[in-house]
Chain A
Amino acid sequence: MTYTWDFAPVVANWDLLAEGLLNTLKVTGTALSCGLALGLVLALMRLSRHRLTSWPAGFVIEVFRTTPPLVQLFWFFFALPLLVGIEMTPFMAAAVTFSIQSAAFFAEVFRAGIQSVERGQWDGARAIGMTYAQAMQRIVLPQAVKRMIPAFMERAIELMKTTTLVATISYADLLFAANEISQKTFRPLETYTVVALVYFVLIFLASLLARQLELRLARSGESTVR
């Protein structure tokens, strides 16, 4: 049996694919920016000396790092709306889930970065009369963030891969578009192959960029954290 490949039906639906890709990037971008901000907050809370702030942060981080993202997504999409009585669109559920989930991972990156800054830097900052907040903002974080860049990039790439899960709650991302097209055209082989390649090119380029950046940081003598 020889199968005749025919990519024409897939190409004819390029607009669906483009829209799907755009939506994939939209979820990734939203989760990335919210996740970074929330991740920093979680990290600062976890580093706090007060149990009332460090404990809840630790709990959120542990729960979101140790449960499967798909279970989280289902919970936020199917369970949470009933619990709080609001309508949840697939996009909202995805944005909330992946923001908190990546925040949990980013928080650990931030924490490792902050802890990698030598004690002497705190000493230097405090000796000229800086408060904890000033020392963190002006002295420690700027040095920490530079070391965290590779870990951030890696996480962002993981996030882009994880966003494919939104297809399971019918958000029209790239993978969902593939599902649509393959059902419409009866060409699943070509459709899924094309979509797999699109993902590969996108993520591979991002990985290359991350590696370049890491090399440059390594060459400039910056240590990095994982």
Chain B
Amino acid sequence: MTLLRVEGLTKRYGATDVLRGVDLDVDHGERIAILGASGSGKSTLLRCLNFMEMPDAGTVTLDGQAIGRRESELVKLRQRIGMVFQQFNLFPHMTAIGNVMEGLRTVRRFGKAKARARAETELARVGLADKAETYPAHLSGGQKQRVAIARALAMDPELLLFDEPTSALDPELVGEVLTVIRSLAEEGRTMLLVTHELGFAYHVATRVIFLADGTIHEQGTPDEVLKRPRKERTQSFLARHKEFSL
């Protein structure tokens, strides 16, 4: 069953066409890895899905409901779609638990005790119950990203967007974040993941999309796209990622 339907998504920056009419259906429980060279429009595609970037043309339909461009609609949409960023974007003036509670308190209007209980659950889920009162400045990159994941989860999103969640991390910290994401996959959550971790994509994704020149160049199961790519550009992209081992 389709959760999210994207049709004819187009985005232009000045004279550059970043997205040239992307069509995409995301079913409940699907985990889609989006690959592509830098500048292929991966992040832009993700950011257009929850309208962090305003697409120039195209429609986004969530659960059969087309999304308009009014702020009230966008705000509601973003409550249903969680997003995790490359640079974490934690709020530095709030503790870890404060970050997780913020959406519940300000957007969902939860009472303090209820928001706190919920936030504690989410922090425990990402293994950071003991860091609740710590400010982001005193957390490692991996811990920051796990708090950011907890912040997104607290809003009960129907869909999770990960925008290169491990690209800003030191290599030794990547594992802890991927473990958390894998556990979310095992819960059967629907997610879209822009990543350079091809091995991770192969094992976790149910579908892989290869983006080039602002369109979906090739897509299929991880086996199809990563092991037996049909298109030449996909092959050369994969060949350049030597560290990729299945």
Measured CB to CB, the residues of A under 8 A from B are: 120-121, 123-132, 134, 138-139, 142-143, 146, 221
Contact = CB atoms under 8 A, between A and B. Distances in A.
B50 A128 contact: no
Interface in B32-46: none
B181 to A, nearest CB: 17
B50 A127 contact: yes
B107 interface: yes
Interface in B78-113: 78-79, 82-83, 85, 87-93, 102-103, 106-107
Given A123-B89, A127-B83, 17 more contacts: A120-B85, A120-B87, A121-B89, A126-B52, A127-B50, A127-B78, A127-B82, A128-B79, A128-B102, A128-B103, A129-B155, A131-B75, A134-B107, A138-B102, A138-B106, A142-B93, A221-B137
A53 to B, nearest CB: 16
Contacts of A131: 71, 75
Contacts of A128: 78-79, 82, 102-103, 107, 151-152, 155
Interface string B101-130: 011001100000000000000000000000
Interface in B45-77: 50, 52, 71, 75-76
A129 B79 contact: yes
A130 B107 CA distance: 6
A128 B91 CA distance: 12
B185 to A, nearest CB: 20
B193 to A, nearest CB: 15
Interface string B148-161: 10011001000000
Nearest to B74: A126
A129 B83 contact: no
Closest 7 CB pairs of A and B: A124-B89, A128-B103, A129-B79, A120-B89, A127-B83, A129-B78, A129-B107
A130 B103 contact: yes
Nearest to A120: B89
A219 to B, nearest CB: 14
14 contacts: A120-B85, A123-B89, A124-B85, A124-B89, A124-B151, A127-B89, A128-B79, A128-B107, A128-B152, A129-B79, A130-B75, A130-B106, A131-B71, A134-B106
Nearest to A222: B92
Nearest to A128: B103
Contact of B75 (A123, A129, A138): A129
A123 B78 CA distance: 11
Nearest to A220: B137
A171 B15 CA distance: 61
A1 to B, nearest CB: 64
Contacts of A129: 75-76, 78-79, 103, 107, 155
A90 to B, nearest CB: 42
Contacts of B89: 120-121, 123-124, 127
B52 A123 contact: yes
Contacts of B107: 128-130, 134
Contacts of B85: 120, 123-124, 127
Nearest to A121: B89
A75 B222 CA distance: 75
